[in-house]
Structures are given as structure tokens and as C-alpha cells.
Amino acid sequence: MNVQEKALQEFNSTGYPTVKNESWRFTDLSRLNNHSFDGIWKNSDISFEPFDEIYIVFENGKLSLDKSNLDTLPIGLTLKSIKDYKELSLNSLQSEVNGIINLNIANFNDGYYLKVEDNITINTPIHIIYLTDSLNFSNCLRNYVEVGNNSKITIVEEYIGDDNSIYLTNSITEVFGGNNCDIGHYKYQCESNQSFHFQTIEVTIGSNSFFNNHSISIGCELGRNDIRGILKGENSEIVCNGLYLLKDNQLFDTHLFMDHAVPNCKSHELYKGILADKSKGIFCGRILVQPDAQQTDAIQSNANLLLSRTAKVNTMPQLEIYADDVRCTHGATIGEIDEKALFYMKSRGLDDFSANALLTFAFANEVVDGISFKPMRKKIEQSIEVWLKKVL
Amino acid sequence: MSLLNIKNLHASVEENEILKGIDLIIKPGEVHAIMGPNGSGKSTLSNVLAGNESYQISDGEIIYDNKDLSELDAHERAREGMFLAFQYPVEITGISNMYFLKAAVNAVRVHKGQNELDAMEFIDLIDQKKQLVKIKDDLLERAVNSGFSGGEKKRNEIFQMAMLEPKMAILDETDSGLDIDALKIVADGVNALRSPERGFLVITHYQRLLDYIVPDFVHVLVDGKIVKSGGKELALELEENGYVAFEEMK
């Protein structure tokens, strides 16, 4: 039995994770069982706008060379389908294997392999675009990123869906950074509002390195990000920021896990959630400081703004600290629009919608403002504006 | 013709009646001061005028610029030229002072049938007005009132007033928390904005502010009622004798 057959067998016996599993206790996946996800592949009708010259497009989970632009790859950069490196896509992960991961291994369609050689700075952002509109489709992707020593790159993963489609995106992205590298990783999830979305991101970086992640989640009916950062070399830093905008009956779950294995590293997490209607947000931030990881500087913050009385948030910081000379802070808040601020704005001539929109935008802005890749920031600002018009 | 005509105004917060029958007429160009002890209803009056929905009018009426004020929401009052300088300006993180002001100025302009100012025109207007209260550029870039000192917050209120050019300005204890230098700057800003078309209602606890913003009329508010009205000399009398004599009058 090969790895894929074994994964399928395991999935068939366990199914999706259930609420009995501690890590999934607020995220009930039982509605996934109503779908078979055996839809047939088709070309995608979704349009997209690349940020720059280099982009790779997955059309319903399959790399489309026609839609991608990989003609002008700079020296020192490899970007192609992971199918050429199939053994990598069947690698075991650091994360605990669960039904979602087994399903990914068993059914994976495609993904990208990206490698930056040592001493290379790639100035053009690498735009990864996933277009999904095949009905009942199972979109399993496996991505592998390797960034060499003294190298720099920015990667944007954008998930775009069609609101009429029900499908499942199940994506795994592994990132390995060497020493003295600088990796920007943006995720913009704007899937169909009837879809299901799961992504596991596992990042390992060496010494003197920086991994900067921003995850913006607007789409899907039910979804989860699992992000694990492993600091393997000293003087490195992981920034992991995010924003989730939820409405209707959406549920979005963010699980972060920062693993400090060595001394003198930083991990900074800032997550903000804005929840309308009957939506539900889950945030779990685990920080593990291993016995050797002295001088760790870990900051975690999760703030939520509820726009309705029926929206709900479960937020859980989990700090496990086995070293004694560290700075670890965490904070979680759940609040509403401040009535005093609202009156202040109205008393200056802003109507109800404008005042609410401005205050809500102000809440999100701390995350948005931290996005150093400007075209991305602009895109997020625009989508927040559109989103606010729908919910306020 | 009056700009603001308050007739037998009764207002309450959470069922507690705070204002118990106020009559006040302010004509264009006039500066009225309302003085009163703590708890007399000064801030309630300013909040009722600005349209704070936490306050309910239980009786009486307010006619502003020939309109029944109770029919206008807070933002409509602002667009019609009513301005309240807050006693405690609210800190709003995440939005710059400039961005907020541009949204406010343009909301008022559109209401008046004027074109929206673009970025360049807006900066020109800022440059014109910022001298009035000696506001620094970095204060404009920073988040609204966020981390501002007490004096900076009050200056920012007057700066907003200068930008919005209201017909009727209410200053709610603008002097509280100001040292003498900041008080002078704020008062100079207000005096520069005095005009034959504009009415002012200056609400204060102390006479000190009225040395710098000299009112045409002074009213003493005690327990939700105006118990005495007079000229500017009434403020001096109050400073000397306190509110005790008036509290016995109620």
C-alpha cells in the first residue's frame, strides 16, 4: 500500500475531525459529510488580476500554463508544478495528521514547487492564484517552498471562488527558510461563500531570518487556517498577522502554533476579527517556548469586533513556557462599536453608515497598515470597503 | 431673528430628569455663557443640542435656524451647522485626524450642495486653518485624539470647528484641563471665529475662560434651570460669591 492509499484508508476509518477532538471542539465539520466532493473538473470562468509579471494560476486545482506567466523567471528561482517533485508532496508534516491532512495526501491534484537559491533577492512578488468554480470539487493542493541562505522573496497566495459553487479547498503549504533569509507570505482567501476551505501552513526558518505572514480571510462558509512556525535558528523572527471578516453563517477558525526551539527569537501575532450576523470566529494561539529558548520575545494579540448580537467568538491563548528568561504576552478582547466614538463621528456630520464603516475600518487598520506590500494593502482596503457595504 | 430658541426644555437620562425647563434665545453673532455647579445639567444641555440619543427630551422644544431640532439626527444637525466641542473628545485609534476631518468636511460640503474637496484642496484648507490654534502637522497625521494631551485634544476640537465653519458652536467645558497658555491659544482660536453670523454657547464651570472669550450674556444654571441671566459682569459676581446663593434660589 503506498502513502496515498494508506492516507485514504485512514481517512475512511476516521473521517473528518470531530468536536470531540480538543483542537476542533468549536469547529463542527459534520456538515461536510453532506457533500461527496466528487465533482468533475472543468475550466474556470473566474477572472483575476495579477499583481506583477510572475504568476502561477491553478484552475480548479490544476496548474494552467496558459493562464500563468512563468516566462520571465529570474535566475535562481524555480517555480513549477509540484507534480515533478511528487515525493515532496507526500512528505510527512510536523503537524499532527488528521482527517483533513489525510484527505489532502490521498487526493492531491497539484500545487507549486518554489525554490530560491542562496544569495538571491527576488524583487517581483510571486503571485499564486487559485481559481475554483467546479461544482462539488475537491481541490487538494500541496505546495513546497525552499528559500536559500541570504535570499529574499515575497509570495502571495490568493484564493478566488465563485459564489454559486460548493467545493472543498484543502491546501498545505510548507516553507523552509535557510539562514539570513527574508520571506514575505501573504494569504488572501476570498473563496465562494458556499465553499469549505482548509489550509495548513508549516514554516521552518534558520538563524537571522524573518518570516512575515499576513492572512486575510473573507470568503468560504466554513474554514480554518492552521499555521505552524518553527524557529530553528537564533535571532530569527516570525510575524503572523491576520484579519477575518465574517458574515451570515460563516465560521472561520485560526489555529496558530509558534514553536521556539532556540534562544533569542521573536514571534509576534496580531489577529483581528470583525463578525456580523450569525457568524462565528475561533482563534487559538499556542506558543511553545522550549527549555533552551531563553530570551524569547513572544507577543500575541487577538481582538474581535462584533457587529451583531448573534455573532460569536471563541478565543484561546495557550502559552507553554519551559524557559525562565523570556518575555511572553498575550491578550484577547471581544467588543462592540464604541457608542461614544459613534456619536463623536456623527456630531461631525458623518451619517450612521459612514461613522460605523469608518470605526470598523479603524479597527481593522492596525492589521492592514502592517502590510508592507502596497498593492496587497490596497486590495485589502478595497475588499474591506466592499464588505462593509454588504454588512452595515 | 433667533438662531437657537430653546423653549421650556425638559430632558432626562435613564429616566432621571436633569433639565427642568430651560428657556434660552441665541441670536446670530451673540456669545452666551452658561455657568453652573457640577451636576446642574450643563453637559446634558450640550449633548441634547448635539443630538446624543442617550438623552431624551420629555417636554419643550428647540428651534434651530427655523427647524425643529428634534426632527434632525446628530449628523444632520452637524451638516446644518451645529457644532459641539466635546468636554471629553473621544480617542479613535486606526484613523488619522486628517482622514476623519476630510470625511467630515466633505459630508458637510455635499449637504450644502458644494463639491467635495480633493486631497490638494483639503490640504490648502488645513494650511489656512491650522494657524488659528497653532496645531502641529504631526497631530494631523496621528490617529484621532489618540494619545493627545488634554490641551491637544481641546485644540483639536477648535481646529475641527474652524474646518467645519458652523453656524452655532457649543463649547462644553473647553477650559477644563487646560493650563493658562493652552487656554489662551484655544480662546484666541474661538475669538478669531466670532462673526456676525455665528452664535456661540460657552459652557463652563469657571469664570476664567470668560476673561478670554468675553460673552454678551451670562446665564446661571442650577439644578436644571436657568436661575439668573445677565451681562458679562454676572460671571464676576459668581466668581466672588460662588453658586451657593443661587442654589438657595431654586
Torsion of CA A351, A357, A362, A365, to 10 degrees: -150
**Strand B16-26 versus strand A182-190 pairing type:** unpaired
* Residue A346 and residue A201 share a domain: no
Contact A346 B86 (CB under 8 A): no
* Residue A314 and residue A181 share a domain: yes
CATH of the domain at B124: 3.40.50.300
Grid cell 488572501 is found at: A188
Chain B: closest CA distance from residue A352 (Å): 8
Spatial CB neighbours of A183, under 8 Å, sequence gap ≥ 6: A145, A147, A152, A153, A154, A155, A175, A177, A203, A205, A209, A210, A211, A212
Nearest CA in chain B to A370: B94
* Residue A218 and residue A233 share a domain: yes
Chain A: closest CA distance from residue B153 (Å): 13
- Write out the residue range of the structural domain in which residue B77 sits: 4-249
Number of domains in chain B: 1
pLDDT tens digits in sequence order for chain B, 250 residues long: 899 999 999 999 998 999 999 999 999 999 999 999 989 999 999 999 999 999 999 999 999 999 999 999 999 999 999 999 999 999 999 999 999 999 999 999 999 999 999 999 999 999 999 888 888 889 999 999 999 999 899 999 999 999 999 999 999 999 988 889 889 998 999 999 999 999 999 999 888 899 999 999 999 999 999 999 999 999 888 888 888 878 776 5
Q: What is the pTM of this model?
A: 0.93
Could you tell me which residues are beta bridge partners of residue B9?
B22
Contact A347 B78 (CB under 8 A): yes
Residue ending a domain, choose from A336, A354, A374: A336
Grade residue A91 by pLDDT with cuts at 50, 70 and 90: confident
- Write out the residue range of the structural domain in which residue A193 sits: 3-336
Contact B75 A349 (CB under 8 A): yes
* Residue A168 and residue A316 share a domain: yes
* Residue A332 and residue A357 share a domain: no
Residues of chain B in Cβ contact (below 8 Å) with chain A: 50-54, 73-75, 77-79, 83-84, 86, 89-90, 92-95, 100-101, 103-104, 107-108, 111, 143, 160, 164
Chain B: closest CA distance from residue A381 (Å): 13
pLDDT at A319: 96
> How would DSSP label each residue in A256-271?
EEEEE-SSS-EEEEEE
Query: Rounded CA gap, A173 and A201, in Å?
Result: 5
* Residue A324 and residue A179 share a domain: yes
Grid cell 500575541 is found at: A300
B104 to chain A: which residues are within 8 Å by CB? 345, 348-350
User: Looking at this predicted complex, what is its ipTM?
Assistant: 0.96
Number of domains in chain A: 2
